[in-house]
Amino acid sequence: MMKTALGMDIGGTKIRGAIVSEDGSLLDIKEIPTEARFGGEHVLTQLKALIDQLMHKEICGIGIGTAGQVNLNGEILSATDTFPNWSGIALQKRLEIGYQLPVRVVNDVQAMALGELHFGEGKMVKDFICLALGTGVGGAVVAEGKLIRGSNGAAGEIGHMTIREGGRKCPCGKKGCLEAYASGSALLDLYKERTSVSKTGPEIFNSALNGELNAHTIINEYISNLVTGIASLAAIFNPTKVILGGGVADALDVYLAGINTEVKQKVSDAAGLNLTIVKSKINGGIIPLGAASLVF
Ligand SMILES: [Zn+2]
């Protein structure tokens, strides 16, 4: 019989959980609000409630992809202000004790990368990079078929790569990070600063397509900054693919060909030869899939 595991995705607004079979089928998906503002212990309670809904006796383990940085023992190292007291929670250990099953925990974009590696865009390639363009900018690097976790689990924090010394302030407290230019929030902030009008991401993209000059300029700058980030990554890792995910990636569809061209112009021939920038195809389920792959 094929093995099944639980794959959980702990995000800022909701926790998504799935029963995943070894061949990458999502057998059941359920969601519960994260309610992160009530603190880390509350998030853990929500997580357990969702696990209990999905759990059955054939489950061989629980894999988790969560917001925040996770060390190699499955403890939360740090998280953004939207996740108070999530940092410090020994998630892996507490769930292992509670459920008497193998539990593995990684950062959510690292789980996305594992999902792509085993079941998605990364299946046929050994070297690729995932970039999650949402409220923030998350990243994960797969090199020679292996997810790079680093000495403390925090490798691939691509959003906090400096692309402009002394540049815009990043939520992490530093200045000039890629996230300060290439996140969905950065896009909204830039638009508001320039026009004094608040628009949502999809509205800004629509305005640009309808020929509004401000929106058009801001999207072009956004893409140019994203390209700068991708070009640096290409120079370091020589990946075959850069896989874009997250809310902004959907809106970038019409710009994808242009992004590919711009990146190729910025990198060496060797770095650009095999490189394509693509969009993740398994929306919604990729993090649970990758998380579950940790316990198969
Ligand atoms: Zn930063």
Q: Which tens digits make up the pLDDT trace of 71-90?
A: 999 999 999 889 999 999 99
**How much is the pLDDT for 258?**
97
| C-alpha of residue 230 to centroid of ligand 1, in Å | 16
| C-alpha of residue 171 to centroid of ligand 1, in Å | 6
| C-alpha of residue 168 to centroid of ligand 1, in Å | 10
pLDDT tens digits along 136-183: 999 999 999 999 999 999 999 999 999 999 999 999 999 999 999 999
| C-alpha of residue 218 to centroid of ligand 1, in Å | 20
Mean pLDDT taken over the chain: 96
Q: Is this model's pTM higher than 0.85 or not?
A: yes
CB neighbour burial string for 49-85, b if at least 16 within 10 angstroms, e if fewer:
ebbeebbeeebebbbbbbbbbbbeebbbbebbeebee
Q: Which two tokens stand for residue 135?
A: 């409220």
| C-alpha of residue 165 to centroid of ligand 1, in Å | 12
Q: What phi, psi does 136 have (nearest 5°)? A: -115, -165
Whether 284 shows a pLDDT value over 80: the answer reads no
| C-alpha of residue 154 to centroid of ligand 1, in Å | 13
Strand partners, 30: 17
Q: What phi, psi does 204 have (nearest 5°)? A: -65, -45
Residue type, 131: L
Nearest to 258 by CA among 235, 230, 233, 227: 227
pLDDT tens digits along 211-222: 999 999 999 999
Residue type, 163: I
Whether 283 shows a pLDDT value over 90: the answer reads no
Nearest to 107 by CA among 143, 142, 78: 78
pLDDT tens digits along 17-66: 999 999 999 999 999 999 999 999 999 999 999 999 999 999 999 999 99
Task: Please name the residues in contact with 265: beta carbons below 8 A apart, sequence gap of 6 or more.
Answer: none
d(CA 86, CA 44): 9
Nearest to 140 by CA among 118, 171, 112, 162: 112
- CA distance to 19, 22, 47, 80, 287, per residue, from 15 (Å): 14, 21, 7, 16, 11
Nearest to 242 by CA among 135, 156, 153: 156
| C-alpha of residue 109 to centroid of ligand 1, in Å | 16
Percentage of the chain surpassing pLDDT 90? 95
pLDDT tens digits along 100-136: 999 999 999 999 999 999 999 999 999 999 999 999 9
User: What beta strand segments (E) does 80-178 contain?
Assistant: 103-107, 128-133, 137-143, 146-147
Residue type, 83: F
Q: Which two tokens stand for residue 139?
A: 């990243």
| C-alpha of residue 167 to centroid of ligand 1, in Å | 11
